[in-house]
Structure 1
């Protein structure tokens, strides 16, 4: 063998060895990563080659799978009452991925979660039968909220204070997840329209869009004041003048009622009339740290896992504020932001004796035979305020419900407490205000907490108020639960 042939042979041998090393590396070390890669089209196709598992409300599936006869994406996700349940289900799309419960439990629903595999599935490398996700949603409360929000732009959340179960999550506008479930031209057009929508139907404002809570936040301020000994009796006059100057400024703070009506009033009366002077003064005297501590106990500045993540979280400012800014937070303004879920949590903790049970919208995750893989029936609970504080707040909220902004939406036979709110928004209050209502009710051994925010309606700006716009929505949801 001459020198040239010998060199060529060695070179070819090295190439073969390099190829063997590369193949071994890819198969042994990178194989699973490549198989699981989100950009692997075969992996995506595989998720839709069989029917998906279902999301369940009240024992009935609100999702399904349609056999399209297609070669690649054979089964397409379908939805029963899609817009009604979209804030809960989210979407499962052949082209655009997943969101909400469809996203959190996609591996359960498409059968790739290892907990679903039987011994035979493992031996044959066969995809397991998909599992199901059982929600805590009550179909009657959900439908009541949906119907009540028609003609309005807004959101609502209902909770069971004793269990933390989320009974309803409602948004209007909403969207039909079935319209984007496929990978065709119609799905693409629907997707583009939804993303261009000024109403942001896919935002899920009930869980993921914190906004100024306005006077509903006064419940947090009063809770902090009682817990820190600043208020010991809700019927004792406060000696806060109605003609109140915001600390650190020369600006007068006005309320919806006259200065005289809010002059030196007790916390109970201040909550009923929503006197800004009293709550701004309480926040000023408490200071940022104590206000923030109370807010965070109730869930502010914390991303909740429902198991859908509520990101961004409801917010109480963490950066150092000036004295006037702290005072404004006492009335739910400046940079305080909350979702309907958050304000429902506030009312729930008050109704439940100061104990906040972790909110959740899933009760169980099961395999195809009904065997439980995950259970959320024993959620974490935290004593966020004393029972005495909660009792005093309940007492004050009952006055709002019977004599204040909630008096027109009382339900016979139901004990309830409430707080209305109207929050300024936009530069120089340029946008229509938000109308808020948060409430709790109990009857016949059952209880519920509800929060509603109305962002837009055909109501004249001067008539926008939580008691007029948001309270009737909460009333219908409460009635659907307590009057079954």
Structure 2
């Protein structure tokens, strides 16, 4: 009896399971909400995607970024027959007939034919005139596996949960599926609402259980119904300058760090690169070092100098004992007695520690006040309302800077030593390289600060503008013109003076202004943060450039990297 009941319940369960699959949950089977009907159709469908329908990026001059569009020959091998005019096709492709036949026989599914060289548009049109079922020539769009401008542009991938959460309306309308690719990081993520595919362009045909084409069904061409899509984003990036930055970082062995290059006149991002590059396996573990907090070291002395100038604390005839460090002990560099200007040029820590303590007596919040004026504590990337997106941002997960840690009490920063450490960009001071680059652009421009743009516009497929990103001047207090002028002079002397920490840049055929910095990282004593932040040409500023090496040991890579990038940029500009 027990065995009979067991088999009865088993049969009932299997009957219910079969009914669930065949009749009840055909469009939302299991906790994964699988559409069984669609999956069944997909199993019987062979397809070749010509264009995934996702929007794309252009550089400032209209060149495609991280995407290739090439004329290619697509073959559906199951449709190959003796009726194909093999000789004619081989002649168009400049191939021996036997070679062409062999290439087709090696294909197991719809694929691009591997050819010795890329075909021309003329060859593509000649092949299509033959009207061969199963042989087509098309402009095929291919996304580069390792995207150009890796961190700033970002990558795409499948994320069904994000589709359900973010694009519920599109999912219901059928314009996207759970398999539609979305941005994972970088501008692919921030601009995803404009880039997400509205439908693929593809060749499809249906097959039977054995994989043979169903009789009477031809290969169908399916494309987006809206000719204005896909949209494209015209970025501010300069492809040649971005390549120069990438190649120079690699040539000098910058394993961790990167560079930011800004056009001073327009405050647009021309190039940005972070090392190491991410791969498909490390997208979620990886951060863009250029938009995340880093310890600035002596680059932060610009803030202390600005405060001292603005608060009238500078006396040029007053000398500071630069044979000592901020701990009152003998400094290894033994710089002697220096005034403030020479202290900035040679990067004397003792001077700026003493200055900070003097400033602290009259204004306990001066540090944050002047860091704020120089834009180091706020977002520096373009932000604003775009249609229904209330706080649209050009930069992915951009962090803001900090002077003090929220995990500590304010009393922890009141000692003279803590004040000195903060004044030279140590202790808990952290800023982003993007913010430092924007600070240099602001100083070079005379004190007016703007948000950094990474995109000029979002356009329809025919080039018509959908959105234009206007300039955003940053709000808040600004430094006085006199203070900015003094800062410009200090930054120029760092390079012009033979004892300056960046005097090696004197050899360039144009003048550079800037500030070097070395920051101890605390936890990892093997490496320091090494910076050089500057702008050029100093007498008529056009570019702000920041280099950071987060694994600085005994080799100073930042100055040579700055030199080589600046040289190449000026060559590009003058050519």
Fold agreement, TM-score > 0.5: yes
Mapped pair 1:144 → 2:247: no
SS at match of 1:439: strand
Distance 2:196 2:325 in 1: 60
Q: TM-score, normalised by structure 2?
A: 0.62
Match of 1:436?
Answer: 531
Distance 2:329 2:505 in 1: 29
SS at match of 1:159: strand
1:63 to 45, 63, 66: 66
Note the alpha carbon deviations across 1:446-478, whole angstroms, 9 max, x for none.
Answer: 611111111226xxx4x34xxx31012122222
Cα 1:50–1:298 change in 2 (3 A) is same
Mapped contact 1:130–1:368 kept (Cα < 8 A): yes
Note the alpha carbon deviations across 1:413-448, whole angstroms, 9 max, x for none.
Answer: 423211111110133x62311111111112796611
Cα 1:389–1:228 change in 2 (3 A) is same
Mapped pair 1:237 → 2:240: no
Q: TM-score, normalised by structure 1?
A: 0.72
Cα 1:371–1:126 change in 2 (3 A) is closer
Q: How many residues align?
A: 394
Out of 138-147 and 163-172, give the one that drifted further: 138-147
Distance 2:514 2:332 in 1: 17
Mapped pair 1:422 → 2:518: yes
Mapped contact 1:56–1:133 kept (Cα < 8 A): yes
Q: Which runs of 5+ in 2 are unaligned?
A: 1-27, 43-49, 77-108, 111-139, 160-180, 200-223, 383-393
Mapped contact 2:190–2:396 kept (Cα < 8 A): no
Mapped contact 2:264–2:543 kept (Cα < 8 A): yes
1:54 to 53, 56, 65: 56
Mapped contact 1:411–1:475 kept (Cα < 8 A): no
Mapped pair 1:283 → 2:352: no
Mapped contact 1:215–1:332 kept (Cα < 8 A): yes
Distance 1:40 1:478 in 2: 54
Residues 22-421 of structure 1: pairs in structure 2 closer than 5 A = 50-57=52-59, 58-64=61-67, 78-80=142-144, 82=146, 84-95=148-159, 97-98=182-183, 99-110=185-196, 129-150=229-250, 151-153=253-255, 154-175=257-278, 180=280, 191=281, 202-208=286-292, 210-231=293-314, 236-242=316-322, 244=324, 246=326, 251-252=327-328, 255=331, 257-258=333-334, 261-263=335-337, 265-287=338-360, 288-306=364-382, 307-317=394-404, 320=410, 321-323=413-415, 324-381=417-474, 384-403=478-497, 404-410=500-506, 412-421=508-517
Mapped contact 1:63–1:77 kept (Cα < 8 A): no
Mapped contact 1:214–1:333 kept (Cα < 8 A): yes
Mapped contact 1:161–1:356 kept (Cα < 8 A): no
Calculate the aligned-residue CA RMSD, in Å.
3.5
Distance 1:301 1:310 in 2: 15
SS at match of 1:415: coil
SS at match of 1:355: coil
Whichever of the two has the greater Rg, that structure is 2
Q: Which runs of 5+ in 1 are unaligned?
A: 1-33, 114-123, 181-190
The CA deviation at 1:377 is 4.3
Distance 1:295 1:312 in 2: 15
Distance 1:278 1:346 in 2: 22
Distance 2:62 2:539 in 1: 23
Distance 1:396 1:330 in 2: 17
Cα 1:449–1:245 change in 2 (3 A) is closer
Match of 2:168?
Answer: none
Distance 2:143 2:332 in 1: 45
Mapped pair 1:451 → 2:553: no
The CA deviation at 1:270 is 0.5
Distance 1:41 1:393 in 2: 63
The CA deviation at 1:384 is 2.4
Distance 2:403 2:300 in 1: 10
SS at match of 2:530: strand
The CA deviation at 1:50 is 4.2
Out of 350-359 and 294-303, give the one that drifted further: 294-303
The CA deviation at 1:54 is 0.9
